[in-house]
A and B are shown apart, each in its own frame.
Chain A
Amino acid sequence: MSASPGASHLEQVAAAWTAAFDGVRHPDSANFFDLGGTSQQLLRVVAELRELPAGGQVTAQDLYRHPTIRALADALAARTGPAAGPDGPTGPRTPAAVGPGDTIRIVSPGFPTLAHLPDRAGRAVAALEALGFAVGFGEHAFAMSPDGLTAGPARQRAADIMAAFEDPGVDAILVSDAGEGSRELLPLLDARVIARNPKPFVGFCDTAFLQHYLALEAGLGSAYGCSLMVHLGDVGGPMPETTDHLVRTLAGLPLELRPVASRSRPLTTWFDPDVEGSRRVRDVPGGWHWARGGVASGPLFGGEVSQLADIVKEFGLSYDGAVVFVDITEEHTTPPLWLLGRLFREVDLTGAAALVIGADPQSDPAVWARQVSALLDRFVPGTSFPVLVNADICHLAPCWTVPFGEPAVLDESRGLLFPRRAHPVTSSTSRSADV
C-alpha cells in the first residue's frame, strides 16, 4: 500500500481499484462489474480504501451503488468534504473546537517527566488554568517505570489515552511530554473507538507516531507543537506566542503564522536545575529564511527530524501532495544537518507540496538556511516547491502549535496559513464541501 495523505479522493479510489485488479489501472469511468470484478475484488477495494484517509467509512454497498472510480470518489468526497478544493488534497477531519471552560486531560505517552519535576508541573497547570481551561490527569500520568525512562507500562499509558478519548467529560487531550515510548502504544490503541469520540489531541516530537495514527487510522486531525511540561512550565509562564497558538488551534480558528522577533536558548535546557529555576531569556534572533519561494497548499504532516523516516515506514505512506514539516531538536549527539541529510535521502519528498524546516537552536539561522538549501539541491533534486527554513516548530521557545493533518497554505508573501473556520463544539462529524 502506498497511502498518501495528500492524494485526492480520485487518486485514492483509483489506487484501491488498481490494487484489487492486480496493478491494472482501469479508466475512471469503467464499471466495476463490467470489468468482471468479483466479490473478492470488491472486498479488496473496500479493505484497501479503509487504509486511506478518503475511505475510512466506506462499505461494500457504497461500491455497489457507485461502481466506477469517479462515482465512488465523488460519493466519498461528498461525504467527508474536500479539504482543499474539489480534487485537491484531502486530510482528516478537524476535531471540535475547544476553549475556556473546557477540560483538558493530561496523558503521559512516553517520558515520566511529570513524576520527575512536580514544581514544573504545577506551573504548567497554572498556565493552562490562567487560559481558562480546567485540567485533569490520566490515571497513570504520574507513573514511572523502574528504569525511569517511561511513565509506566505501555498498556497503562495506552489505556489512559483511550480513557481520555472515551470520557465525555474530557474536551481535549494534551501530552505531558513526548518520549520514545509513544511509538509502542500504536498496537494498543483502538482507532474505531477514537473515531467515534473525536477530540483534539495535542502532542509533539515522538507523539507524531500517534498523530499519524490518528490521521490515517482514525481519520482525525490533531495538533502538533505543545506539551504540558516542556512548553508551558517555565518560571514566569510560557511565552505569549506559544499560548496564543495553542489557544487558536484548539479553538479551530484560522491561523496566519509569522516569524517571531526573538527566541530563547535550546528548549530542553530546563533539565539543568539552574535554568529550570530562572526565567527564560529571549536572546536569540528569530526570523525565517525562504530556501525557495512560491505558494503551495496541502494537508500538513511531519514530525521530528530523526523520526520521520521511521514514521513513513511504519505507516507505509508517501507525503505526495502534503505540506511536510521537519521539527529540529537539539537533543541528539548527531548534528541536525546530518539527520536532515539522512532524512532527505531516506524519505521520498519529491512529490511534496512544500517543506517547512524548523530552526536549529544550535546553529546560526543564515548558515542553517544555506545548509538546508544545499542539502535540498543535492538530495531532493528536480523539485521547485516552496521551502521555509527556520520555522518556529517546535523544539523552540516560543513555538507553534499547528493543526496536524489539516489543510495548510505556505505562501512566501503571507506566511504559513491554516484557512480553517471555527467549528461549533458539537460539530465533530463532517466538514461541508464549501470549505
Chain B
Amino acid sequence: MSDPGDELEASLTAIWRRCLAVDRVGPDDDFLDLGGDSLGALAVLAELELAHGVPVDVFELMMAPTVRELAAVVRAKSVGGP
C-alpha cells in the first residue's frame, strides 16, 4: 500500500548511501553536504539510470540536490518520457 513516490525515494536513498558511503541520508539532506563530489554524482546517476531507466545529468542533480527533489525530477522524466 506504499506510495510509489516513497518507493522511489527509498531506492534513491539506498543509491546515495552506497555511492557516497554514508550511513544516513534524509530526504532533504543536500548532496554536497553529504560529501558528494562530481565523481559521486556520476556514480549516483549511473545507478539511478540502471535502476529506473531514467537518464539524469550532473546539472539536473546540481539543481535538485536532495533525494526528495531528485525523485521529483525522475518522476517528471518518467511521465514525460525521454
Residues in chain A near residue B7, CB distance under 8 A? none
With A338-B58, A345-B32: A333-B63 Cβ-Cβ less than 8 Å: no
A374 within 8 A of B: yes
What separation, in Å, do the CA atoms of A378 and B58 have in the docked complex?
A: 15
Which range contains the number of A residues in contact with the other chain? 10 to 19
- In contact, A371 and B32 (Cβ under 8 angstroms): no
Tally of A-B residue pairs with Cβ under 8 A? 24
B21 within 8 A of A: no
Which range contains the number of B residues in contact with the other chain? under 10
List of 5 A-B pairs having minimum Cβ-Cβ separation, nearest first: A334-B38, A341-B62, A338-B38, A337-B59, A335-B58
B41 within 8 A of A: yes
Residues of B bordering A, CB below 8 Å? 32, 37-39, 41, 58-59, 62-63
- In contact, A374 and B32 (Cβ under 8 angstroms): no
What separation, in Å, do the CA atoms of A375 and B63 have in the docked complex?
A: 7
- Chain B residue nearest to A335 in the complex (CB): B58
The dominant DSSP class at the B interface is: helix
What separation, in Å, do the CA atoms of A333 and B38 have in the docked complex?
A: 9
Residues in chain A near residue B32, CB distance under 8 A? 342, 345
- Chain B residue nearest to A344 in the complex (CB): B62
What are 16 A-to-B residue pairs whose CB atoms are below 8 Å? A333-B39, A334-B37, A334-B38, A335-B38, A337-B58, A337-B62, A338-B41, A341-B63, A342-B32, A345-B32, A371-B59, A374-B59, A374-B63, A375-B62, A375-B63, A378-B63
Residues in chain B near residue A337, CB distance under 8 A? 58-59, 62
What separation, in Å, do the CA atoms of A334 and B38 have in the docked complex?
A: 6
Residues in chain B near residue A378, CB distance under 8 A? 63
What separation, in Å, do the CA atoms of A392 and B39 have in the docked complex?
A: 28
